[in-house]
Amino acid sequence: MRIVDPKNAPKPAGPYNHAVISGNLVFCAGQIPLDPATGNVVPGGIEEQTIRVFENIKLVLADAGTAIARIIKVTVYLKDLNDFAGMNKIYSQYIPSNFPARSTLQVARIPKDVLVEVEVVAEV
């Protein structure tokens, strides 16, 4: 097991790592829309927050030696399932083809009361 700890990504909010590599897979912790420079939640709605989440995922995957194109599983947590269309619009800009398996859930609460959290598994 190898720990992935990118210095340019937002710091984890608890006792966990950004990602862990095991074999040829990288398991990424859920990313929320935190600005890496400030540690604050980015302003805006679901689209702005989803953009920041995927930019954070890109940072973590790059540090692990892989990229968004190598994602094989995505789990999306939404504060409100009514935000699905807005999230999906941005999601499809980051993952326009060769779609990974995906689950999308509405949850009662996400850390820092953000609108979206995304976790991924990718090939290294």
Q: Please report the pLDDT score of residue 68 as a whole number.
A: 98
Asked if pLDDT for residue 37 goes beyond 90, the answer is yes
The predicted structure's pLDDT at residue 108: 96
Domains of the chain: 2-123 (3.30.1330.40)
* pLDDT over 90 at 22, yes or no: yes
User: Would you say 26 and 119 are in contact if contact means Cβ atoms under 8 Å apart?
Assistant: no
Average pLDDT score over residue span 86-90: 98
Amino acid 112: pLDDT: 95
Bridge partners of 104, per DSSP, are 76
What is the structure's pLDDT at 13?
79
Mean pLDDT of 16-22: 97
Calpha distance 45→68 (Å, rounded): 23
